[in-house]
Amino acid sequence: MAHSNIDKSLRDLLLGNVRSVPNFPKPGIIFKDITPLLQDRYLLELTSRLLAEPFRGAKIDFVAGLESRGFLFGTNLAQDLHAGFVPIRKPGKLPASTHSIEYELEYGTDSLEVHTDSIQSGDNVLIHDDLMATGGTSAAASNLIRKMGGNIIGYSFVMEISALGGRRFLDQNLPVHSLLKV
Ligand SMILES: O=P(O)(O)OC[C@H]1O[C@H](OP(=O)(O)OP(=O)(O)O)[C@H](O)[C@@H]1O
Ligand SMILES: Nc1ncnc2[nH]cnc12
């Protein structure tokens, strides 16, 4: 599995299309908004491809995308890696039988659910989200997937707020690929 680093000009281009919104959704939070990246037809494709690069050649059954912003690039990523896509959702959204787990956010608590008939024991799963902050969401999703017998092969983020140290909650032996570190 390659660990590609993007060069500075590319990083600056992508970062220039992430909007920082102070005090959203709560005072003190600087919200990193990826909608400008999605709006631009070239950057949408470029970002999707760059996310897939480090995991090309890996055996992946599913990309698990974390609600809701993990769905935005998650299905593109799954398609590019020839994997299926499994949505990990907030409570009460998935219609069939679910497993669930509680977790803490940078700004509150929530829980995650997944359909019981999605990931099966031994399936290789890549976890994807738009952003890792405290790592609580990704760690909870990892626990949920492992509870189902899924084998997590790595983590993919568009962005990581490095100062919050979220990586310490993830398996240290697995690749964690964040396109942009802020
Ligand atoms: O690393 P953490 O501190 O756990 O935070 C990261 C999570 O927070 C955001 O989602 P949010 O819960 O705001 O939901 P949304 O994607 O539906 O907006 C983001 O998209 C990640 O899923
Ligand atoms: N600062 C932030 N910006 C966007 N999404 C987030 N999720 C948690 N912290 C966030």
State the pLDDT at residue 2: 43
In a mutational test of the pocket of ligand 1, which residue from 105, 127, 156 has the highest number of ligand atoms less than 8 Å from its CB?
A: 105
State the pLDDT at residue 109: 81
The CA distances from residue 177 to 70, 99, 112, in Å, are 14, 26, 22
pLDDT digits (tens, 9 = 90+) for 55-106: 999 999 999 999 999 999 999 999 999 999 999 999 999 999 999 998 877 6
State the pLDDT at residue 166: 95
Identify which of 124, 140, 48 has the alpha carbon closest to the alpha carbon of residue 90: 140
Mean pLDDT for the stretch of residues 107-135: 94
Asked if residue 143 is part of any domain, the answer here is yes
The CA 76 to ligand 2 mean position distance, Å, reads 21
How many structural domains comprise the chain?
A: 1
Mean pLDDT for the stretch of residues 164-176: 96
Residue identified by tokens 């050649």 is 57
Q: For ligand 1, say whether the CB of 77 is within 6 Å of any of its atoms.
A: no
Mean pLDDT for the stretch of residues 35-61: 98
Chain mean position to CA 76: 12
Burial class (CB in 10 A: 0-12, 13-18, 19+), 101: middle
User: Catalytic residue at 160?
Assistant: no
State the pLDDT at residue 115: 98
Query: Does pLDDT of 175 surpass 70?
Result: yes
Total count of residues recorded for the chain? 182
Asked if residue 67 is part of any domain, the answer here is yes
Asked if residue 2 is part of any domain, the answer here is no
Asked if residue 3 is part of any domain, the answer here is no
Query: Does pLDDT of 5 surpass 90?
Result: no
Mean pLDDT for the stretch of residues 142-168: 97
User: Catalytic residue at 67?
Assistant: no
State the pLDDT at residue 103: 81
**Nearest-angstrom CA–CA distance, 79 and 48:** 10
Computed over every residue of the chain, the mean pLDDT equals 95
Asked if residue 1 is part of any domain, the answer here is no
Q: Which domain holds residue 137?
A: 8-181
What CATH code is carried by the domain that includes residue 56? 3.40.50.2020
Token readout for 167 is 């990586």
Query: Does pLDDT of 1 surpass 70?
Result: no
